[in-house]
Amino acid sequence: ALFYDSYQGVPIDVSEVKRRDKSNTTFWCVNEIQPCDPLEGRRVDGSCNNLKYPSRGASHTPFTRILPPIYDKDFEPKKAASGNELPLPRSLRTRLISVGKVPGQRYTQLAIHAFTFLSADVVSLHDTVNYILWRPYCCTPKGKTDSVCVPNKIPEDDPVHRFSGIRCLNMTRPESFQSIGCLPKDTTPERIVSSTPLLDLSTIYGNFMKNLQEKGRTFQGGLLRYEVEEGRIWPPSTKTKANICLLNQPNEKRCHDMPEDGGNTLAAINLMAVWFWRNHNFIAGELAKVNPCWDDQKLFDTARDINIALFLQINYYELLPIFLGYDNLVQDGVITPSGGFRDIYNENVQPQLSLEYPFALRWLHTVQEGSLKMYDQEGNYLKQFPIVNLTLRTGYLAVDNNIDYITQGSFRQGSANIDYIADPDITEQGLGPHQRVSDVMTNDMAKNRYFGFQPYVKYREACFGKPVRSFNDLYYFIDPERVEVLREMYEKVEDIDLLAGIWVERPISGGFVPSTFYCLVIDQLRRNVVSDRHWYERPNRPNAFTIYQLAEIRNYTIARLLCDVGDTVTRIQPRAFLKAGIYNQIDSCFNIPSIQYLAWKDLTCDQPPYWFHSQ
């Protein structure tokens, strides 16, 4: 194996690794990489995706930025142009985002679950775990002595907490190459996460081969490990009490033991992880029927490759177009209308994530509905449960047929509306019982500043070319009532935080998302395609799909996934990210297109055995 400096991406010698070992930073600061084989498929740890820069694409490698960072002295959040403090994150949240519950009529909960799962593929938990588990004390006197603590102040006149008396929301600084000890503390903070930057179903297969081998593989028939309980198939479960499912109640025993812990976190990630985990085995089983001569490794690798391709197909061609606009995505080169192969790979673009991308995705917190509604198979409403109380509570899914009812609810219940209004559970509770009080979106605003993002107007200009010089210029893309609040909150237009602008913008023409959100998100969506040597639409990647196989992948939908592996799903609307209606009626799964695995038929399996010829 070769060793690389995880930040610089350059090879380092053994003495340097020993130095890292001594300071206990090897795990984060060094990537150990087996020599690349250009003909090898996608590695679980993301390495060797780019043959020129083998460590890029692996975990613990740096983010890129669309615009360079801006900080105050000592890398503290920047101040207003006047030198005054910027408005408190919590004040901005309460003034710019209203709180309430307005049921959306367009998207289903399933669409929001899928977005959450898409985000989870590329970020990691440690920044949140830091203030929930390791530093729950930031709002106590002890927090004042810990420089990692950066809790958010709640003002006296807060619309909710003037009644509760609570004046502080727990939060810690994002982890960086500096805080972990890979780079000197006096350099500009560079965010570090443990996921691989490219979309590769990290939540299922993990980010490290060792974890996948130990926790995932059965080494038989290409299957992932699984358990059957009351007729349902589950990922393997933890066997000890010390597990991450902290909120499991005494009757709730299940907690997944997957290569990564993400599957046990938010309910959305959990559900999608169960489905894609099962889907791997479903695919492996179908491949084994078609190709009885394939061994475990061949079945596993092909099933994983197909599973990842289906995940990408659903996201790029079904989920994103209904939010960002199909024509917009075609025009901006994110998707192709051709139906055939597409190859825009460029080895000079490194597989990296922009820091702005997962940050912009946080806007979707406004579209999260707080009550998870449950239905039976006939579509009768049964009950509801606060989704924020399901975080780190996998056990709830496995009791009282809850997973069946939640699955049915996922494509029947609408998401929250896109309307500048957020659900009270997101803004006042957020982490359920894990914190006394938490406002996810106040944290989003505060993180905006700790990531050192340039002002909103700079991004606006970078995205759309036109400078924004005054509050009056905002009327072109923000409604007057919201410009008025911005004027009230900020001294100057150039003080407006990036997220504040995204929160209040009108949607992009042809789509339903804020225009700057669109710009920051598609930048990454395109980079994913350009920088991923193993991108599923490429004809020139190792073990590429044939055009017939790709055609099967392109037929796939989220409805098919649920028909194949969703509990009790026998009927569903064909476009299940959208609410059922007259043009999208709930129909039998027999009528939802499925994949013909014969496209993967390996003719060599049918060859008569060698002794046949010699007779």
Interface residues with ligand HEM (CB under 6 A)?
112, 115-116, 119, 123, 127-128, 171, 266, 358, 361-362, 364-365, 368, 387-388, 391, 430-431, 440, 443, 447
Q: Report whether 223 contacts 211 (CB < 8 A).
A: no
Q: Between residues 7 and 357, which has the closer beta carbon with respect to ligand HEM?
A: 357
Q: Between residues 368 and 454, which has the closer beta carbon with respect to ligand HEM?
A: 368
Q: How far is the CB of 331 from ligand HEM (least distance, A)?
A: 23
CA–CA distance, 413 with 580 (Å, rounded to integer): 10
- The structure tokens listed for 72 are 């105050």
Q: How far is the CB of 507 from ligand HEM (least distance, A)?
A: 16
Q: Phi/psi zone of residue 84: left (φ > 0), alpha (ψ -120 to 50 degrees), beta?
A: beta
Strand locations in 316-449, DSSP E? Answer: 371-375, 381-386, 414-416, 421-422
CA–CA distance, 68 with 174 (Å, rounded to integer): 17
Q: How far is the CB of 302 from ligand HEM (least distance, A)?
A: 30
CA–CA distance, 287 with 572 (Å, rounded to integer): 25
SS3 22: helix
Q: How far is the CB of 56 from ligand HEM (least distance, A)?
A: 19
At 275, the amino acid letter reads W
Q: Between residues 44 and 267, which has the closer beta carbon with respect to ligand HEM?
A: 267
Say how many C-beta atoms besides its own lie within 10 A of residue 220's C-beta. 12
- The structure tokens listed for 380 are 């009768």
- The structure tokens listed for 434 are 């894990």
- Between the CA of residue 190 and those of 18, 193, 437, 492, what are the distances in Å? 23, 10, 29, 28
Q: Between residues 130 and 291, which has the closer beta carbon with respect to ligand HEM?
A: 130
Q: How far is the CB of 191 from ligand HEM (least distance, A)?
A: 8
Q: How far is the CB of 355 from ligand HEM (least distance, A)?
A: 9
DSSP letter (8 states) at residue 322: H
Q: How far is the CB of 172 from ligand HEM (least distance, A)?
A: 8
- The structure tokens listed for 331 are 């025009």
At 170, the amino acid letter reads N
Q: Between residues 468 and 499, which has the closer beta carbon with respect to ligand HEM?
A: 499
Q: How far is the CB of 431 from ligand HEM (least distance, A)?
A: 5
At 420, the amino acid letter reads Y
CA–CA distance, 434 with 151 (Å, rounded to integer): 16
Q: Between residues 50 and 59, which has the closer beta carbon with respect to ligand HEM?
A: 59
- The structure tokens listed for 336 are 């192709």
Helix (H) or strand (E) holding 568: none
Q: How far is the CB of 213 from ligand HEM (least distance, A)?
A: 27
Positive or negative CA dihedral for 458, 464, 469, 471? negative
Q: Between residues 204 and 364, which has the closer beta carbon with respect to ligand HEM?
A: 364
Q: Are strands 227-229 and 232-234 parallel, antiparallel or unpaired?
A: antiparallel
Kindly provide the b/e burial profile for residues 221-240, where b requires at least 16 CB atoms within 10 angstroms of the residue's own CB.
Answer: bbbbbeeeeeebebbbbbee
Question: 269: closest CA among 392, 442, 171?
Answer: 392
Crossing angle (nearest 10°) for helices 267-290 and 109-120: 80
Q: Between residues 127 and 260, which has the closer beta carbon with respect to ligand HEM?
A: 127
Q: Between residues 431 and 561, which has the closer beta carbon with respect to ligand HEM?
A: 431
Q: How far is the CB of 326 from ligand HEM (least distance, A)?
A: 20
CA–CA distance, 558 with 275 (Å, rounded to integer): 10
- Between the CA of residue 430 and those of 102, 422, 461, 535, what are the distances in Å? 18, 11, 33, 35
State the Cα angle at 556 between 554 and 561, rounded to 5°: 155
Polymer length of the chain: 615
Q: How far is the CB of 497 from ligand HEM (least distance, A)?
A: 14
Q: Between residues 471 and 512, which has the closer beta carbon with respect to ligand HEM?
A: 512
Q: Between residues 78 and 135, which has the closer beta carbon with respect to ligand HEM?
A: 135
Q: Between residues 319 and 553, which has the closer beta carbon with respect to ligand HEM?
A: 319
Q: Between residues 97 and 440, which has the closer beta carbon with respect to ligand HEM?
A: 440
CA–CA distance, 471 with 489 (Å, rounded to integer): 12
- The structure tokens listed for 502 are 């995204």
Q: Between residues 248 and 368, which has the closer beta carbon with respect to ligand HEM?
A: 368
Q: How far is the CB of 502 from ligand HEM (least distance, A)?
A: 13
Q: How far is the CB of 385 from ligand HEM (least distance, A)?
A: 11
Q: How far is the CB of 39 from ligand HEM (least distance, A)?
A: 34
Q: How far is the CB of 584 from ligand HEM (least distance, A)?
A: 22
CA–CA distance, 531 with 533 (Å, rounded to integer): 6
Q: Report whether 150 contacts 446 (CB < 8 A).
A: yes
Q: Between residues 431 and 498, which has the closer beta carbon with respect to ligand HEM?
A: 431
Spell out the alpha helix ranges (H) of 291-376.
296-313, 320-324, 326-331, 356-361
